[in-house]
Structure 1
């Protein structure tokens, strides 16, 4: 299992396999992990073809990190032809309780307004770490199944 405990200082590409409960299926997620710094935007843009799902992660102790999510969401949505891009917003570093600057309610409201599911995690403490990935994998699997059914209806 890939562990995201190290701080991202550039761009990492990670493959993560997630089993879909109540099926015999698994989904392989190809994850482009960047630190969110502007200097990596051009690299990330070249890696994105047609995104299928989206995971935005911000630091709950850094309001600028949270505020930049709107810009990254706009950029990703501009790269997709899908009318709906399933995604999650993840508030990370919940272990930094005394340094928190972004309240959970504020982030939940922003996520809901942008049709994203919201989760909070601590990668350092490995708390709630897998839940966003399972949610994304289930969303992707559901979309895949819908496309297969649509194709089969034409046959």
Structure 2
């Protein structure tokens, strides 16, 4: 049984639901806060995620970062060397989706010289279907082009909020297993 630790950056524009996603994941869906104050820096959520069929687990250190540029400049140190990335956009806000490329580039720039191979794109607020502005297929195509898994969720309706984090834990664990195999082959 192996317990790994992964630094996860939660990134995206303000008011897309990053904090709600992190908080509902931490509470296993037990607590949806109806109102949030704007994150003005960084909140840390820690949760251990079991990796199916292995007996292993990944402790995700989820850094929920402010979406405002004013604050993101102060966060460069906290963003250094992430292991995994969770990009969040609001399915009713096309600009928040378009800005995901900026957030992805920022995250990648924090790990110079190494690639950031593990990440997910999360479209939140699917409960607002009548106001949808971002097509699911378009988001999926962009995510795949960036090497990201794609998910849609409604934190408010508690739908699919665990899947992105379980995917990140599984992907991170797979990278660990691959590195162990490389080291074994060298021995």
Normalising by structure 2, report the TM-score.
0.76
Structure 2, unmatched stretches of 5+, are 1-24
Structure 1 segments of 4+ aligned residues over 4 angstroms from their partners? none
Change (3 A) 1:16 1:88: same
CA–CA distance in 2 between the matches of 1:78 and 1:23? 33
SS in 2 for 1:139: helix
Structure 1, unmatched stretches of 5+, are none
| RMSD, aligned CA | 1.7
Match of 1:2 among 16, 26, 47: 26
Match of 2:133 among 83, 101, 121: 101
Structure with more contact order per residue of length (Cα contacts < 8 Å, sep ≥ 6): 2
Match of 1:27 among 49, 58, 61: 58
* CA offset digits 1:45-73 (Å, max 9, x no partner): 21122111111011111112111111010
Shift of 1:35: 3.9
Normalising by structure 1, report the TM-score.
0.91
The number of equivalent residue pairs is 155
CA–CA distance in 2 between the matches of 1:149 and 1:32? 30
Q: Is the 8 A contact 1:60 1:94 kept in 2?
A: yes
Q: Is the 8 A contact 1:122 1:129 kept in 2?
A: yes
